[in-house]
């Protein structure tokens, strides 16, 4: 196994810390290292540490699976033991599918992300440990950690893959660190936000909606739809409620007025 010098290891790791280090202990498949790197890049994590990867390092399959997250793979640092990988960290969480044998706090990914964010804000350097695909972390590795993280899964089918686990932990960290918008940004604008976007329009004003109601109800009266007369108030109310549930935009109101005009006017009206 090739190995970087300890000095360069420290420097690389320190330079890139913007979230917890992801520490993969004896990962077996290069693909999974690449998938993990991709998940890290998706959620803004950059500090990937590899302890004794089975197939050596660098690994072509890891680079291929990273699907563009080359910077994360290329910046990965290599260690011979978990203790070396964790030497400069202050707080360590271990991932496990079955946190049973130790008196150690058990957290969901969400709680763990909150704890990590809080500690990082006060300057602590944090890491999350992940075990080999086949076996997960052994008890000696878990003994190096302050706390355990375990996902809420279907207990009858609980086996998350290594990159899936990295993805969930990184996703929750991104949510809690509070720096992300939604989805992709482009050269034209940033990521999206929750809510209903109105880029080329705006929510309709009630005056506009009332104008549509007047137009539609006048035509419905003219065509004899709002009959019998004693049912008219209920029918009108129901129709108005349907329109309100649409949360119409100003453009929508104009479209509907066009629809009503089209259906009631024009050449087809009385052929």
245-249: long-range contacts at Cβ-Cβ below 8 A with a sequence spacing of 24 or more? 247/196, 247/203, 248/203, 248/204, 248/208, 248/209, 248/212, 249/198, 249/201, 249/202, 249/203, 249/204
Specify whether the CB–CB gap between 91 and 124 falls below 8 A: yes
Coil, helix or strand at residue 22: strand
> Is the CA virtual torsion 11, 17, 22, 28 positive or negative?
negative
Residue 180: CB partners within 8 Å, gap ≥ 6?
A: 43, 44, 174, 191
Site membership for a second copy, residue 254 (CB under 8 A): no
Note whether 16 binds a second copy by CB under 8 A: no
Q: Which residue among 1, 64, 180, 263 contacts a second copy (CB under 8 A)? A: 180
In the complex with a second copy, which residue's Cβ is closer, 5 or 154? 154
Minimum CB separation from a second copy for residue 74, in Å?
Answer: 14
Indicate which single residue of 38, 62, 76, 120 sits in contact with a second copy (rule: CB under 8 A). 38
Say whether residue 158 binds a second copy (CB under 8 A): yes
Tell how strand 77-79 and strand 91-95 pair up. Answer: unpaired
Nearer to a second copy, 233 or 258 (CB): 258
Distance in Å, CB of 233 to a second copy, minimum = 28
Residue 249 near a second copy by CB under 8 A: yes
Residue 269 CB: number of other CB atoms within 10 A?
Answer: 9
DSSP assignment letter at 204 = P
Determine if 7 is a binding residue for a second copy (CB under 8 A). no
Q: Does 33 bind a second copy (CB under 8 A)?
A: no
Confirm if 161 and 133 have CB atoms less than 8 A apart: yes
| 150 sits near a second copy (criterion: CB under 8 A) | yes
CB 163 within 8 A of CB 36: yes
Which 202-241 positions form the footprint of a second copy (CB under 8 A)?
Answer: none
The answer to whether 15 contacts a second copy (rule: CB under 8 A) is no
Contact with a second copy (CB under 8 A) among 17, 75, 114, 151: 151
Q: Does 185 bind a second copy (CB under 8 A)?
A: yes
* Interface with a second copy (CB under 8 A): 38-39, 41-44, 67-69, 96-100, 102-108, 110-111, 150-161, 164, 167-168, 171, 174-175, 180-186, 190-199, 201, 249, 251-252
């Amino acid at each position: 196994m090739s190995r970087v010098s300890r000095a360069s290891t420290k420097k690389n790791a320190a330079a890139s810390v913007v979230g917890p280090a992801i520490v993969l202990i004896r990962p077996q498949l290069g693909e999974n290292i690449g998938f993990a790197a991709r998940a890290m890049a998706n959620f803004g994590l950059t500090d990937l540490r590899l302890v004794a990867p089975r197939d050596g390092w660098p690994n072509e399959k890891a680079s291929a699976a990273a699907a563009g997250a080359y910077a994360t793979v290329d910046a990965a640092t290599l260690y011979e033991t978990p203790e070396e990988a964790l030497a400069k960290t202050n707080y360590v969480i271990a991932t496990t599918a079955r946190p049973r044998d130790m008196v150690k706090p058990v957290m969901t990914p969400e709680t763990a992300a909150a704890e990590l964010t809080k500690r990082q804000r006060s300057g602590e350097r944090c890491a999350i440990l992940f075990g080999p695909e086949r076996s997960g972390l052994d008890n000696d590795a878990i003994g190096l950690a302050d706390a355990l993280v375990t996902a809420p899964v279907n207990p009858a089918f609980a086996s998350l893959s290594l990159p899936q686990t990295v993805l969930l932990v990184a996703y929750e960290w991104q949510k809690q660190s509070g720096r992300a918008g939604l989805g992709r940004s482009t050269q034209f604008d940033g990521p999206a936000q929750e809510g209903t976007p109105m880029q080329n329009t705006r929510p309709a004003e009630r005056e506009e909606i009332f104008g549509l109601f007047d137009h539609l109800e006048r035509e419905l009266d003219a065509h004899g739809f709002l009959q019998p007369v004693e049912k008219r108030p209920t029918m009108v109310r129901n129709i108005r409620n349907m329109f309100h549930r649409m949360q119409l935009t100003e453009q929508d109101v104009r479209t509907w007025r066009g629809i009503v005009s089209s259906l009631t006017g024009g050449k087809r009206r009385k052929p």
